[in-house]
Chain A
Amino acid sequence: MKSLIAKPVAVVVLLFARAITAVRPFWHEGRLPRRRSIFFANHSSHGDFILIWAVLQPRLRRRVRPVAGADYWLKSKLRSFIGRDVFNAVLIDRNRDARTMDPVESMGEAMREGSSLILFPEGTRNQSDASLQPFKSGLFHLAALHPDFELVPVWIANLNRVMPKGEFVPIPLICTVTFGEPMHLADGEDKDMFLERAREALLALAPKKAAE
C-alpha cells in the first residue's frame, strides 16, 4: 500500500520542485554522470537532494539514494514515509555515542547493492554566513573503501533563498545545479588533504555573488 502511494507522491514532489525552481543542471563538460557515483553537495535546505534528483535522468534516478539524518527523518510518520518510502533515503544515525550502526557501514551497504549516493559532507544544513562548512570525514572513508565510485561535487545555487529555515511558504526562484569534475582519492593522500581538496572542488562551483 505504502509503495503504491510513494511513486505518485514522488512525481508530485518533483513537479512541485520544478514549478517553484525551474531547476536547471550544468553538467561538467556536458557529460552525464556515471552509474556508480557519489554526489556530494552543499547543504542549505531539506529540498537539496530533491533538486539533484530532479535533474538526473530517470534511469539514473532510480538507483540514486540520498543520505540523511535518521534523527530528523524518523521524527514523525509523515517524514519517515517521505524519507524512507518516497525517496528511499539511506538514514544514518548522527549521534556518535548512542548509535549502533556505523554510518560508513550503512552507506557502504547501499553502494554494494549498486546504488549511487547523494551526500552532504557538511553533515548538517549550513545556516552560517560561510559558503561551505568544514567536511565530516565520511566522504574520505567512502572514497578509500570504494575506489570504483566517482566522487562528483555538486553545487546547488539559490535554494536557500527559496525556503530559508523557519519559513514554510517557498518563494519561486530559479535554481541551478552545477556538476563538477569527478574525483578520486589520490595515492598517499591523507584524510585532511583529501577533504580539503574535495571542499575546494565544491566551492569552485559556487556562482560569484551578484554585485551588491
Chain B
Amino acid sequence: MSATHFDMMVLVLGVCGILLVASFVGHVLERRLSPDGSNPAIENLNARINAWWVMAILIAIAFVAGRIGVLLLFGFCSFAALREFVTLTNTRRADHWALATAFFVVLPLQYALLWIENYEIFSVFIPVYAFLLMPIISAVRGDTQHFLVRIAEVQWALMICVFCASHVPALLTLHIPGYEGRNVLLIAFLVIVVQSSDVLQYIWGKMIGRTKIAPRLSPSKTVEGFVGGIACASLVGAGLWWITPFSPLQAGAMAFLITLMGFFGGLVMSAIKRDRGVKDWGHLIDGHGGLIDRLDSVVFSAPIFFHLTRYFWSPG
C-alpha cells in the first residue's frame, strides 16, 4: 500500500467515524426530543447528516474511479447548480440559444479542458470567450429589454456554477514537486475544511450565538458562530496538514482563507436569494435545500485555494 492509499484510508475511516458519531447523536436526540418527528431543528439536523453520508459516499466513489470520476461528479454538480441558478434569473425567450450554449457547449468544454489538462485555455475560456460570445448570441435575437441585466445574469451564473466550481477538480491538474499522485487529497482537504467550517459555525452559533452578523442577509449567522467556527475549522485544516503539501502552519493559514471565502461566499449567495425572494436555491438534497445551498462556500473558496496553491507550490 502506498503512502497515498494509506492516508486516504485514514481519511475515509476518520470521516466515517465522525459521521457515525453524528448519526448516533442525531438518533439519540430524535428519540429523546422528537419521537414523533415534531421538532423541526432535530429533523433538519438528521436530514443534514444523511445528506453528508450521501455526499461523502459520492466523493469516495469518485475518488476510487479516479480523474474521470471526479470530473463527472463535479460536472454534474455544475449542471445541477447552473439549472438552479438560471431558474431564478430574468432570462427571456431571446436568451434561449445563449442558455442552450451555456449548458450544452460551455459547461462540457470547461470540463473537457480539465481532462486534457489545458490550463491556459481552461483559465480564460469562460471569463474571456464565453463572456464575449454569450451576449453576441443574445443580441442577434434582437430583444433589447433588460438586455444588460440578462447577459450579466447568464455570465454570473456561468462564472459561479461552472468556472468557480470547476476549480475543485482542477486541483488534480497541479504538478507539485514531492506531492505527485496525491492531488486528490487536496480536494478532500478543501471539502472537509469547508464543510466542517459550515457545521462548526452552526454549532457555535446554536450554543453561544447572540450577536447577529448580517441580520438582513442571513438572520441565523452570528458573530460568535463566525469566530468560533472559523477558528475551529482553521485548526481542523492545520490538523490535516499531513494530507497536503503544506506545513501545519501553512495548512492552517490556507484553511483560514478557505473558511473566510466560504463564509462571505455564503453571504453573497444569500443576498441573491433574498433579492429573488426564495429561501433555498432548489430542492435537490433533502434537508439542505438546493445544491447551491451546500456548494456556495466551496465555489467561493475553490478558485482562491487553487490559485494560491498553484502560485506558491507549483513551479512553472
- Interface of A toward B, CB cutoff 8 Å: 22, 24, 158, 161, 164, 167, 169, 171-174, 210-212
Question: Are A212 and B103 neighbours in the complex by a CB distance under 8 Å?
Answer: no
Given contacts A171-B100, A211-B275, A212-B90, contact A22 B282 (CB under 8 A): yes
Kindly state whether residue B307 has any CB partner on chain A within 8 Å. Answer: no
Instruction: Out of B80, B96, B97, B276, name the residue touching A22 (CB < 8 Å).
Output: B80
Residues from chain A with Cβ under 8 Å of B90 in the complex: 210, 212
Considering the complex, which residues of chain B in the window 140-183 have a beta carbon less than 8 Å from any beta carbon of chain A? Answer: 146
Question: Are B99 and A171 neighbours in the complex by a CB distance under 8 Å?
Answer: yes
Kindly state whether residue B27 has any CB partner on chain A within 8 Å. Answer: no
Question: Are A172 and B276 neighbours in the complex by a CB distance under 8 Å?
Answer: no
Residues from chain A with Cβ under 8 Å of B275 in the complex: 211
Question: Are A172 and B79 neighbours in the complex by a CB distance under 8 Å?
Answer: yes
- Among the 9-residue stretches B81-89, B194-202, B208-216, the one with 4 or more Cβ atoms under 8 Å from chain A is B81-89
Residues from chain A with Cβ under 8 Å of B87 in the complex: 158, 173-174
Whole-angstrom distance between the alpha carbons of A173 and B80 in the complex? 9
Considering the complex, which residues of chain B in the window 270-284 have a beta carbon less than 8 Å from any beta carbon of chain A? Answer: 275-277, 282-284
Residues from chain A with Cβ under 8 Å of B146 in the complex: 212
Question: Are A169 and B104 neighbours in the complex by a CB distance under 8 Å?
Answer: yes
Kindly state whether residue B93 has any CB partner on chain A within 8 Å. Answer: yes
Question: Are A167 and B88 neighbours in the complex by a CB distance under 8 Å?
Answer: no
> Closest CB-CB distance, A30 to chain B, in whole Å?
13
The bracket for how many chain B residues form the interface is 20 to 34
A-B contact pairs, 20 of them (CB 8 A): A22-B282, A158-B87, A161-B91, A164-B96, A169-B96, A169-B100, A171-B86, A171-B100, A172-B79, A172-B86, A173-B83, A174-B83, A174-B84, A174-B283, A210-B88, A210-B90, A210-B276, A210-B277, A211-B276, A211-B277
Smallest Cβ-Cβ distance to A175: which chain B residue: B87
Given contacts A22-B284, A167-B96, contact A173 B86 (CB under 8 A): yes
> Closest CB-CB distance, A185 to chain B, in whole Å?
35
> Closest CB-CB distance, B99 to chain A, in whole Å?
5
A172-B83, A211-B276, A212-B146 given; 12 more Cβ-contact pairs under 8 Å: A22-B80, A22-B283, A24-B283, A171-B86, A171-B99, A172-B79, A172-B82, A173-B83, A174-B83, A210-B88, A210-B277, A212-B90
> Closest CB-CB distance, A212 to chain B, in whole Å?
7
Whole-angstrom distance between the alpha carbons of A9 and B294 in the complex? 34
Whole-angstrom distance between the alpha carbons of A158 and B82 in the complex? 15
Whole-angstrom distance between the alpha carbons of A181 and B82 in the complex? 33
Considering the complex, which residues of chain B in the window 89-114 have a beta carbon less than 8 Å from any beta carbon of chain A? Answer: 90-91, 93, 96-97, 99-100, 103-104
Whole-angstrom distance between the alpha carbons of A169 and B102 in the complex? 12
Residues from chain A with Cβ under 8 Å of B284 in the complex: 22
Residues from chain B with Cβ under 8 Å of A24 in the complex: 283
Instruction: Out of B96, B276, B277, B282, name the residue touching A171 (CB < 8 Å).
Output: B96
Smallest Cβ-Cβ distance to A211: which chain B residue: B277
Residues from chain A with Cβ under 8 Å of B277 in the complex: 210-211
- Chain B 188-229 against A: per-residue CB contact (8 Å), 1 yes, 0 no? 000000000000000000000000000000000000000000
Residues from chain A with Cβ under 8 Å of B79 in the complex: 172
> Closest CB-CB distance, B177 to chain A, in whole Å?
41
Whole-angstrom distance between the alpha carbons of A80 and B276 in the complex? 41
Residues from chain A with Cβ under 8 Å of B283 in the complex: 22, 24, 174
> Closest CB-CB distance, B212 to chain A, in whole Å?
24
Residues from chain B with Cβ under 8 Å of A167 in the complex: 93, 96
> Closest CB-CB distance, B28 to chain A, in whole Å?
28
Residues from chain A with Cβ under 8 Å of B282 in the complex: 22, 174
Residues from chain A with Cβ under 8 Å of B97 in the complex: 169
Smallest Cβ-Cβ distance to B277: which chain A residue: A211
Whole-angstrom distance between the alpha carbons of A174 and B79 in the complex? 12
Residues from chain A with Cβ under 8 Å of B276 in the complex: 210-211
